[in-house]
Amino acid sequence: MPGPRAEGEGEVLRALQRRFSAANLRVQIAECENRLTELVEFERGWRDLVGQVRPLMQACDHDDWPPKDPLSRPRILQADALRLDLRSRLATVFRPYAADPLGKFLNTSLQVPDPRLYQLFGVVVSGAAPGLTDHVISAAKFEAVVAESESIIAEHRRDQQAQIRLQTGMLEEGQRLAEEAAQSVKEERAYELDKVRAGVTPTFRTWVEQKREAWPWKVIWPFVEKPLLNALWPLLVAGGIALWHWLRTLL
């Protein structure tokens, strides 16, 4: 009866077989391809978001957020709606989560002076009184965060592409090995079938050779071989003559 260790090793082996089975690999490849498709749409929305927020950040450079211009309010609302849409896609595009600062950016509201927004795009400046400091928006900090976020997106794309290449290679290798195994089994079965046929239906010559080597024929055969041959030839000649006469009677 197998012990706990053997059962544990068997369970691990079965888990690996399930993970690297052809069906599972196809599912993983399809998932990575779907993520790449989703990433294309996500990146398009991301570029649109950056294009909308950039002039607003530049208008607030070294000032408080949001911009004091009342005409900026509709633009902020539009940009924040796009941010919320991108945030809703994070779980689909990124696994297990989007790294910072991209994740922080998409989880920070643009409609209000959120402290997290100053942590992302703000810098510390001298306050109104000596010894006091204040946080203001920095357009340069915004551009740095955008560059980091785009690097995270590019890294994720390369990771998914690498996963697809790896899983596709594993699938092709598994299929090749399966085909070789099937061919080997087919050849082995054909060989065994030939052996069975040879053993069940031997030729007359093989049968004679087997009998000559079997007891007691291997002792008797040297004494009866020549007389049998001498008797066989007259029988063959007589049979040929009888066949010829019979054919003549039919004509």
pLDDT digits (tens, 9 = 90+) for 25-46: 888 888 888 888 999 999 999 9
Distance (Å, whole) CA 230 – CA 67: 124
Residue 23: pLDDT band by 50, 70, 90 thresholds?
Answer: confident
Looking at the chain, the whole-number percentage of residues with pLDDT higher than 70 is 74
- The model's pTM is 0.62
Report which of residues 133 and 209 the model is more confident about.
133
What does the pLDDT look like over 60-118, one tens digit per residue? 999 999 998 889 999 999 999 999 999 999 988 987 778 899 999 999 999 988 899 99
Mean residue pLDDT across the chain: 80
CA distance 85 to 234: 105
- Write out pLDDT tens, residues 96-111: 778 899 999 999 999 9
d(CA 134, CA 123): 8
For residue 227, cis peptide bond before it (omega within 30 degrees of 0) = no
d(CA 96, CA 40): 18
Q: So what's the pLDDT on residue 246?
A: 75
The residues near 64 (Cβ < 8 Å, ≥ 6 apart) are: 113, 136, 137
Whether residue 6 is predicted with pLDDT greater than 60 in this model: the reply is: no
For residue 125, the model assigns a pLDDT of 86
User: Which of 155-159, 166-170, 217-221, 243-247 bottoms out in mean pLDDT, i.e. has the lowest?
Assistant: 217-221
- Burial of residue 24 (number of CB atoms within 10 Å: 0-12, 13-18, 19+): middle
Q: What is the reported pLDDT for 175? A: 73
CB 31 within 8 A of CB 94: no
Query: Do the Cβ atoms of 101 and 150 come closer than 8 Å?
Result: no
When pLDDT is averaged across residues 149-167 and rounded to a whole number, the result is 91
pLDDT band of 223, cuts 50, 70, 90: low
